[in-house]
Amino acid sequence: MAHSNDVETIRKETRTYINVFIALAVLTVVTVGVSYFHLPPVLAIGVALVIATFKGSLVAGFFMHLLHERKLIYWLLILTVVFFLVLLFWPTLSAWNQRHI
Amino acid sequence: MEIPYTVEARPDTGVYNAKLGVWLFLASEVMLFGALFSSYILLRTGAPSWPHGRDLGLNVPLATLNTLILIGSSVTIVLSWASLRLNDFRKYRLYMGLTLLCGLGFLVIKFIEYSEKFHHGHYPRFNTFFAIYFTLTGLHGLHVLGGMIVNGYFWGPGAKLWQRDPERFTNRIEVAGLYWHFVDLVWIFLFPTLYLL
């Protein structure tokens, strides 16, 4: 999307970037802090991945300005996410199936 | 021959060509790292037991610092782009310079971490954990290095374009930033996966 070069808009965006940075820094500290609680493995993985996904969304949404992007880019990314999930879980699931046949 | 759609959006895609190009490249990068993350899950779920990174001597405080440095560099690069949109080339140079310093800081810390591991004989062949740890962090480190080369070019000689075609240069910094944010994003997942879980 064409970005507005209006001074006030850019200054507002800049403030948002700083706020996002603070949120990311706090969430990083939270992730590390939680890891010292020695939660059960499944819960620990769940919490860490939820925080990481949220942090990733902040980076993608604000820094990569995906919140205001063209439809074509969204479609491209949806397709990528689908293939990514298949790639991520298919090998593990098929290996798990083989072990339990 | 003039390259088309470097500044104005192409009517059928709605974006300038470099932006679509970098997103397609990032999609391929998602698959590259996706394959390695998939390997990690497969190795971990298939192993009778999986060590905790911390128990193997991974330095969590240093890695936390590195995470903060990389996040910081994401902010500085996006601020460098915002500075160009405000026609403030001096600030652009400052923020891009800070981005480069952060990248360098990240690599120096990574070097210190690697040296610690090697000192204790923890090479990739030591066990499966270190094999995937070095593969993932090594590939990520190479991406940081690659991004620094591009960012360094735009900080130095490549910045001449600002005089000739400021809008095109601003777009170049936007797409360089998109790549850099992606490198940050990958680390956001690598850090807890390898160091904390």
The predicted complex's ipTM stands at 0.92
d(CA B70, CA B181): 9
pLDDT band at B11 (very low <50, low <70, confident <90, very high): very high
- The nearest CA of chain A is from the CA of B85 a distance in Å of 6
CA B75 to each of CA A55, A59, A86, B59, B89: distance values in angstroms, whole numbers, following the listed order: 14, 10, 32, 25, 17
Positions of chain A with pLDDT under 50: none
End-to-end CA gap in chain B = 53
Tokens of B191: 């850090």
The confidence score (pLDDT) of residue A94 equals: 84
How does the average pLDDT of chain B come out, rounded? 95
The confidence score (pLDDT) of residue B188 equals: 97
Nearest CA in chain A to B42: A92
- The nearest CA of chain A is from the CA of B86 a distance in Å of 7
**Residue-range domains of chain B with CATH:** 17-196 (1.20.120.80)
Cβ separation A59–B41 shorter than 8 A: no
Q: What is the mean pLDDT of residues B111-138?
A: 96
B166 has a pLDDT exceeding 70: yes
d(CA B193, CA B122): 19
Cβ separation A13–B82 shorter than 8 A: yes
Helices (H), chain A: 7-35, 41-58, 71-99
d(CA B58, CA B111): 13
Q: Is the pTM of this model over 0.90?
A: yes
The confidence score (pLDDT) of residue A101 equals: 66
Could you give the 3-state DSSP secondary structure of residue B156? coil
Residue B104's closest CA among B136, B73, B61?
Answer: B73
B73 has a pLDDT exceeding 80: yes
Q: Is B156 on the interface with A (CB under 8 A)?
A: no
d(CA B116, CA B83): 39
In the block, residue with structure tokens 């240069």: B169
The confidence score (pLDDT) of residue B66 equals: 97
B18 has a pLDDT exceeding 60: yes
Nearest CA in chain B to A7: B86
- The nearest CA of chain B is from the CA of A46 a distance in Å of 10
Report which residue type is found at A67: L
Residue B192's closest CA among A86, A92, A74, A28?
Answer: A28
Cβ separation A63–B189 shorter than 8 A: no
Q: What is the mean pLDDT of residues B103-132?
A: 96
Which residues of chain A lie closer than 8 angstroms to B188, CB-CB?
52, 55-56, 59
Cβ separation A35–B196 shorter than 8 A: yes
B72 has a pLDDT exceeding 90: yes
